[in-house]
Amino acid sequence: MRVVLPLFHRRRHPLAQALSVLLGLVVVGVLMVFGLVVAGVLAVGGALWLVWRQWKHRRAHVPGAAANARPPEVLEGEYIVIRSSRPVAHH
């Protein structure tokens, strides 16, 4: 038993075959151009995002703001004083 689908049967006319090949090439070309446009938009958007992050990072570290910052030797946070006379129990 042979199954023949109407869209996948081979066309006998040479002009119909040529037009089918051309249509396929046009569709592939359009998809490639669309893919390149999407890749370009992503590349430009990623570059702009990186530039914006660098600009924001540099702006946060201006010299005037460094004068108001705490000295680097000051460590803030919660801590517990451990005396050397008592053994430490690690949990």
- Cα–Cα distance measured from residue 91 to residue 88, given in angstroms and rounded to the nearest whole number: 10
User: Domain range for residue 1?
Assistant: 1-91
Tell me, what's the pLDDT at 68? 59
Q: What is the pTM of this model?
A: 0.49
Our count of domains for the chain comes to: 1
Tell me how crowded residue 47 is: count the other CB atoms within 10 A of its CB.
Answer: 10
- Cα–Cα distance measured from residue 47 to residue 35, given in angstroms and rounded to the nearest whole number: 18
Q: Cα dihedral sign for 58, 60, 61, 63?
A: positive
The DSSP annotation for 33-54 comes to HHHHHHHHHHHHHHHHHHHHHH
Tens of pLDDT, residue by residue over 14-64, are: 888 889 999 999 999 999 999 999 999 999 999 999 999 998 888 776 565
